[in-house]
Amino acid sequence: MLTNDQLAKWDRESFFHPSTHLGQFARGEAAQRIVTGGEGVFITDRDGNRLLDGFAGLYCVNVGYGRAEIAEAIATQARELSYYHSYAGHGSEASITLSKMVMDRAPEGMARVYFGLGGSDANETNIKLVWYYNNILGRPEKKKIISRWRGYHGSGLMTGSLTGLDLFHRKFDLPLSQVIHTEAPYHFRHPDPTMSEADFTAHCVAKLEELIAAEGADTIAAFIGEPVLGTGGIVPPPAGYWPAIKAVLDRHDILLILDEVVTGFGRLGSMFGAGHYGVQPDLITCAKGLTSAYAPLSASIVGQRMWDVLMQGTDENGVLGHGWTYSAHPIGAAAGIANLKLIDDLGLVENAGTVGRYLNETMRAAVGDHVHVGEVRGEGMLCAVELVADRDKRSFFDAAEGKGAKVVAAMLKRGVIARAMPQGDILGFAPPLCLTQAEADQIVAVTKDSIAEVLG
């Protein structure tokens, strides 16, 4: 058996980790954790720690770790048909069955599902479909995509451009010119703290209208947004936001892409954010919760009005020139089927609603009055604690102090994983949807003690 030191050395010398400080890691100055196992909401590591994973990996292990049903489904599929492609009308029982299961769960008005591998490639597919759609309709100028500052949509060239976080643009020559950003629906960070939620929604709508007027509606193809801002800070939208935004988009014939990579399949306590917020998208992006990350798989769910045009396009031009080798991979599909069954059988969408509400309420009661907590917010099984330097002035700590990261490190010592969100001192929680109230209590108690340790 390899020693921990041997593995750690190979790790530093061979492995290019994503979203990691390369120099610090190579020099052995950065965190390094070799994860060995997972059961329920807990993971274990080579140093003998057992940690409550309050972020479900990267908000993806929605049914929790160690589910034998999914492992069995994957093994059976690998034995029977490890792979076949899905080009030119090919499929497998698993990929076809999963497509039916996804469409049965999708909001009204959706027509077909395309399978990819992860959230970034699914968004890449969606943008290509939007461009194809407007080309078929004879509107080659209508191509720009509106995204929101603080949105997260992936880290490819187009999807990294859609992402509205400086870290993902800096030194990569992004965003690409076809992407424009509008204000994040982030009430707490708006400079005027007296603005009501309803007024803030009106303000976001006005900003969108301004941008459309400045750019010209005939140059704008689509608007993309997460139902709840995720990586940008876990921020539920202000009341009435989605229907109001959708009304503007409809007026200007702009498509709506809802990026439900985090929210799809139950995280908000509803199957999709679309239904949760009462908004009808043209495209839905899914990944994470589709397989609970037991295998890589994403889904682009296409609405009827786009589907009709896409079909017309291929009637005119032949085969749609888009596809990945691993589209609808049978092993991913088998994992997806078993995962969606488990979500139903265990009532995890309902659990995300009830235990998620409990987590948010107990978190607010435990830390909401702390002098350095500005806001506790969340929706379903998503929760965030935003740290502030001064509550009354709503001022923030200097980023260099890394207060959020320090609290997260203090939590880790107490056996709970939270995520220091990348922009601002925000503690993020997105536990598996099977979280129990007792486990929620543990997360809250550890958060409270760790905030007290770091911030007094």
**Does 161 interact with ligand PMP (rule: CB under 6 A)?**
no
Asked whether position 154 contacts ligand PMP by CB under 6 A, the answer is: yes
Contact window for ligand PMP (CB under 6 A) among 170-178, 258-266, 308-316, 392-400? 258-266
Among 26, 35, 58, 180, indicate the residue that binds ligand PMP (CB under 6 A).
58
Cα 116 to Cα 59: distance, rounded to the nearest angstrom: 18
- Rule CB under 6 A: say whether 277 interacts with ligand PMP: no
Q: Which residue has the tokens 């949509």?
A: 153
Residues in Cβ contact with 109 at an 8 Å cutoff, skipping those fewer than 6 apart: 280, 303, 304
287: contact with ligand PMP by CB under 6 A: yes
Q: Are 82 and 330 in contact (CB under 8 A)?
A: yes
For residues 75 to 114, the per-residue mask of contacts with ligand PMP, x marking binding by CB under 6 A and - elsewhere, is ----------------------------------------
Answer for which of 124, 226, 379, 386 binds ligand PMP (CB under 6 A) is 226
Task: Name 35's bridge partners.
Answer: 45
Q: Does 120 bind ligand PMP (CB under 6 A)?
A: yes
Per rule CB under 6 A, is residue 182 in the interface with ligand PMP? no
Torsion, CA 80, CA 82, CA 88, CA 93, rounded to 10: 40
Tokens of 160: 């990294």
Task: Count CA atoms closer than 13 A to 88's CA, side-chain side.
Answer: 1
Q: How far is the CB of 260 from ligand PMP (least distance, A)?
A: 8
Query: In angstroms, what is the minimal distance from the CB of 226 to ligand PMP?
Result: 5
Piece of the chain touching ligand PMP by CB under 6 A; list 207-215, 257-265, 267-275, 329-337: 257-265
Please say which residue, 121 or 425, places its beta carbon nearer to ligand PMP.
Answer: 121
**Is residue 261 part of the contact set for ligand PMP (CB under 6 A)?**
yes
- The label of the residue with tokens 């007290």 reads 452
DSSP 8-state code for residue 9: H
Report the residue number, 105 or 153, with the smaller CB distance to ligand PMP: 153
119 or 428: CB nearest ligand PMP? 119
Q: Does 152 bind ligand PMP (CB under 6 A)?
A: yes
Among 397, 341, 332, smallest CA distance to 121 is for 332
**8 Å CB contact between 284 and 272:** yes
| Residue 169 amino acid letter | H
Q: How big is the chain by its Cα radius of gyration, in Å?
A: 22
For residue 25, CA distances in Å to 12, 29, 45, 168 come to 6, 6, 18, 19
**Interaction between residue 455 and ligand PMP (CB under 6 A):** no
Pairing between β-strand 50-53 and β-strand 416-417 as defined by DSSP bridges: parallel
Contact pick of 62, 231, 291, 339 for ligand PMP (by CB under 6 A): 231
CB of 283 to ligand PMP, least distance (A): 13
Q: Interface with ligand PMP includes 153 (CB under 6 A)?
A: yes
SS3 150: coil
Q: Is 126 in the site for ligand PMP (CB under 6 A)?
A: no
118 near ligand PMP, judged by CB under 6 A? yes
- 297 lines the binding site for ligand PMP (CB under 6 A): no
Q: How far is CA 366 from CA 164, 361, 452, in A?
A: 32, 9, 11
Binding of ligand PMP at residue 262 (CB under 6 A)? yes
CB 381 within 8 A of CB 348: no
Give CA–CA dist 125/300, Å, rounded. 7
Q: Which stretch in 256-264, 334-342, 361-369, 396-404 sits in contact with ligand PMP by CB under 6 A?
A: 256-264
* Distance in Å, CB of 85 to ligand PMP, minimum: 21
Please list, in sequence order, all residues whose beta carbon lies within 8 angstroms of the beta carbon of residue 121, skipping any fewer than 6 positions away: 154, 156, 298, 324
Looking at the Cβ atoms of 59 and 133, the one nearer to ligand PMP is 59
Longest dimension (CA), the chain: 67
Minimum distance from CB of 287 to ligand PMP (Å)? 5
> Could you tell me the sign of the dihedral formed by the alpha carbons of 100, 101, 103, 108, in that order?
positive
Structural contact between residues 198 and 239, judged by C-beta atoms closer than 8 angstroms: yes
230 binds ligand PMP (CB under 6 A): yes
Residue 106 in tokens: 């999708």
Choose the binding region for ligand PMP from 149-157, 195-203, 421-429, 431-439 (rule: CB under 6 A).
149-157
Q: Does 259 bind ligand PMP (CB under 6 A)?
A: yes
Question: How many amino acids of this chain bind ligand PMP (CB under 6 A)?
Answer: 15
Q: Which is nearer to ligand PMP, 232 or 353 (CB)?
A: 232
Contact residues for ligand PMP (CB under 6 A)? 58, 118-120, 123, 152-154, 226, 230-231, 259, 261-262, 287
